[in-house]
Structures are given as C-alpha cells and as structure tokens.
Amino acid sequence: MEMRGSVLNGREIERIHDDSIRILEEVGVKVPSEQILTLLEAGGAQVDWDGQIARISGQMVEEALKSAPAQFTLGARNPKFDLELPSADTTLNMDGCGSNTIDFQTGKRRLALLSDLEDAAKVFDAIPSASVLWSCVMPSDAPSGGAGVISSALSMLNSGKHLQDEIQSIRELPYIIQLCKAFLGSEEEVIRRKIYSATYCTVAPLCHDGEMLEGTAALTKYKAPVLLYPMPACGSTGPASLYSNVALANAESLSSLVIFQLAAPGTPLIYGSALGRINIRTGTFLEGAAETELMMAAMVQMGKHYRLPTIAAGCLSDANEPGIQSAMEKTLTTLPLILAQADVIQGIGLLESSMTLSLEQMLIDEEIFNQCRRMGAGIQVCDEKNYFEDIAAVAQGGHYLKQKTTRRAFRSDEFYNSRLIISDTYDTWLSGGSKSIFDKAHQQVRQILDADPISPVDKNTENVVREIMEEAGAKL
C-alpha cells in the first residue's frame, strides 16, 4: 500500500473554493491592462475601469475549468525527457530567478553568473528524477533587459529537458519563439512539441502584473502551457491565517485561469503554488517553515480538485548554507508534497529562501527527494512479495542471506540504494578520508561537469541560438 497524506478533507476543499469565489466576486482582482480588462468584461466580468478592478463570477470560473485540459505533455528538447501531466510519479524542478551562487571552486557566496546557469543545467540533466528546468538564477553579467531570454537560451543549450521560465514582457516573446524554432525547425513544431512553458506569478494580494500578463497571454497563441503561481505570505502579502491565505492564493490562481482561458480556450494550465509565511521579527519570507508546507500541500489538493496538473514549491530551506538546517527543512518541505501526490516539486539546489544556488545541494536534494519518494511508495502487500516459503525453509534460528529472493529483492526498487548516504563503520569512514555527504556531492558534480553533454546541440543550432541571445541582449 502506498503511503499517502492530506491536509484538507472534502468539505474543507469545497469551503476554500467557495471562499475564493466570494473573494473574486465581491473583492475582485486588480488588472493594470486595458487589453485584459476588455477581455474580462467581454467574458462577463464586472469591470471598474477607474480602479482597474475586475470582479469575476463563479460561472466564469466554471466555464474556464471546463476548457482547461486535464492532461497534456511538457515536451523536451530531447524527447526521451518528455513529461506527461499528470505524472505517474512525482518529479523535480528548479525554482527561478535567484541572485547568488555558492561558487563551486571556492565555496564562497557571490553574485550569480551566466556560467552558473550553464553548470546548473548540466547537473540538472544528469538527475534522473528531474524533469522541468526553470533558469535558477538571474546572471549579474547579462544585460538586464535581455537577461531573461539569454538565461532561457543557455538553459536550453545545456539541458535537453523541458524549460519553464518567465515572459517578463511581450517584447521577449518573439525571441522565445525564435529559440524554440531554432531547436524544432518550425512554428508548427513549437506548438506541437511544447518544449517551453511560462511561469506566471500573480502579485499578492489580488493583483496582476500588467506587462507580464500581456506577454504570457500572447504566448497562449502557441498553446504553450502556463504555470499559475501565486505567492502570498501569511502576515504580509496574505492574511495571517493558513486557511485564508490558501483561499486568497486560490482566488488569484482562479483569476489567472479565467484570463488565460478567455485569451485562448484550451490553453494547458498547471496549478502551482509558492505560498509562505513571514519571519515576524524581520518580515522576511520563510520557505522552510512547517506552516509553509501545510499550505503548499493544501494547494496541491485544490489543484487536484480542479483536475489540473500540479507544481508546488518544495525541497526548500531558509538556511544560508548546506548543513543540518537545510537538510531538516528540505525533508520537511518534500515529504508532504510526495504524500499529497504533487506532479512536480520545485526548488532543488537552492538555499536562502531560493535566492542562492549550490550545485552540490542539487544532488543532496535529489537524495532527500528519492528517500521521501521511497517512503511514499509504501509497502507492496501482494503474492509476489509473500515469502512464506522462505520463512518455512529458514525456520527457527536460520539466516536469509543465501535465499535467492533476498538477492532478487535487494536488486529491486523495494530497497533504495543511495549514491550519497554514508553508512560505513567509523573506522572505514576515517580510513577513506572521512568525507561528508557534501564532499561526495562535490565530487559527483565535478564528474558531471567534466563528462560529455547528455543532450548535445549541433554547432549550427548553437550558432543560431547565440545570435538570438546577442540580438536580445542588444535590443531589449
């Protein structure tokens, strides 16, 4: 039997939905875009043009839910990494737009660079349980206007997996489509393969970013999937109640759902979440708190209630460096999402509330994820796993080591074999150089970076992509 968990019961899910509809109908959302307000009004919303407020009815939400597909595939540049959603098993993503990196060579924290994006994409490609890549840092050595396009391009050059990034402005859209065409050959293939999807973040509480909204809405012409990503924090941009903060976040997601379905009915949407709470002493956003993960697990349940694929921020930590705190918080913020059956957990490799990248932490987080996923898989109670004959053969006081079933079982996925966990005796560990998990992760990262690319790009395609990067850097 699989190990599963939930935060909300059916009655509570319905109550949160009803509260979210009340928020949309009575309070509304701010939409600083004449284009989108016009779209909403034509779709049935009550629009206060002076205040740029749209009040969205429950009927509009129901119609949008009917047109949003329940299943679709996130294509990858390397087709063997395509991800069908909902996923048969929880998989991993990286969070986006951090500022810093713990330098792989020196171990010192510094501003992120373009080379860090390349290295992170290569390591991500080598993680079997990772499927969706968001450019994890904003490089300080890229021209500010073109940094988003350049980051997407570098991630796609160095990883064959699906790319999920942000469209900050409609001016970026032509470059993103050019990038996809450079790898796929035609606009028709861009629409069919869906190797790029956009993360759309609402601005809590109950606001939309006009420029990002218009850019992402324009992307729906290409049937690219959109991740709906609310981020209210209890006590600052959200109410100081876990229940009401979930209701607020859900209202923001439902307003985005309506907008994108009005823009292009049938657009694939992913129900995402990155809620948090504040540190009451400093006002900073806390990702590694227990309350954060309770809300995230609740949001996964809401997404499943709407029959939408789910991505939730997880494997998170507020720690400033790899260590005991980060391991504790990342386990705490991973296991509940696996038990809730999130399709994708987003956040590996990042520390300091997702602001700082560590390549070694990426592999440590994979280990945490794999251990949690093994727990979620539970115990198989079936005829195949019934070893009564062995029990009878070994009987009293015997030993099972020589049994054929023992050898077979330990080669199966019933017993997880770690690449990082240190289980040697103290003397063996000491004689081997007393390496830590971080040391082993560092060595494995070095091997990945020194190896040939998993998903190489031919030289002509790379040249086209770099020309697009150069133009975006100059013109945006």
Q: For 305-339, how does the pLDDT look when each residue is reduced to its tens digit (9 = 90+)?
A: 999 999 999 999 999 999 999 999 999 999 999 99
Angle between the N-to-C axes of helices 242-263 and 58-67, in degrees from 0 to 180, rounded to the nearest 10 = 60
- Domains along the sequence of the chain with CATH: 10-58 (no CATH), 65-377+463-471 (3.20.20.480)
pLDDT tens, position by position, 369-410: 999 999 999 999 999 999 999 999 999 999 999 999 999 998
pLDDT value of position 419: 87
pLDDT band for 2, please (50, 70, 90 cuts).
confident
| Average pLDDT for 445-469 | 97
How many Å is the Cα radius of gyration of the chain? Answer: 23
Q: Which two tokens stand for residue 188?
A: 């028709």
| Average pLDDT for 139-163 | 96
- The C-alpha atoms of residue 465 and residue 180 are separated, in whole angstroms, by 9
| Average pLDDT for 276-294 | 93
Least confident among 40-54, 64-78, 234-248, 422-436: 422-436
Strand 310-313 to strand 350-351: parallel, antiparallel, or no bridges (unpaired)? unpaired
pLDDT value of position 214: 98
Average pLDDT, the chain: 96
pLDDT value of position 212: 97
Q: Are 39 and 31 in contact (CB under 8 A)?
A: no
pLDDT tens, position by position, 107-120: 999 999 999 999 99
pTM of the model: 0.95
Angle between the N-to-C axes of helices 459-475 and 147-158, in degrees from 0 to 180, rounded to the nearest 10 = 170
Bridge partner residues of 53 (DSSP): 30, 48
Strand 162-165 to strand 196-201: parallel, antiparallel, or no bridges (unpaired)? parallel
Q: What percent of the chain has pLDDT over 70?
A: 100
Q: What percent of the chain has pLDDT over 90?
A: 94
- The C-alpha atoms of residue 336 and residue 141 are separated, in whole angstroms, by 37
- The C-alpha atoms of residue 367 and residue 192 are separated, in whole angstroms, by 34
> SS3 for the chain, per residue?
CCCCCCCCCHHHHHHHHHHHHHHHHHHCEECCCHHHHHHHHHCCCEEECCCCEEECCHHHHHHHHHHCCCCEEECCCCHHHCEEECCCCCEEECCCCECEEECCCCCCEEECCHHHHHHHHHHHHCCCCEEEECCCECCCCCCHHHHHHHHHHHHHHHCCCEEEECCCCHHHHHHHHHHHHHHHCCHHHHHHHCCEEEEEECECCCECCHHHHHHHHHHHHHCCCEEEECCCEECCCECCCHHHHHHHHHHHHHHHHHHHHHHCCCCCEEEEECCEEECCCCCCEECCCHHHHHHHHHHHHHHHHCCCCEEEECCCCCCCCCCHHHHHHHHHCCHHHHHCCCCEEECCCEECCCCEECHHHHHHHHHHHHHHHHHHHCCCCCHHHCCHHHHHHHCCCCCCCCCHHHHHHHCCCCCCCCCCCCCCCHHHHHHCCCCCHHHHHHHHHHHHHHCCCCCCCCHHHHHHHHHHHHHHHHHC
Q: Are 356 and 319 in contact (CB under 8 A)?
A: no
pLDDT value of position 1: 74
Q: Which two tokens stand for residue 278?
A: 């504040």
Least confident among 89-93, 250-254, 418-422: 418-422
316 Cβ contact partners less than 8 Å away, ≥ 6 residues apart:
287, 288, 292, 329, 330, 333, 347, 350, 353, 354
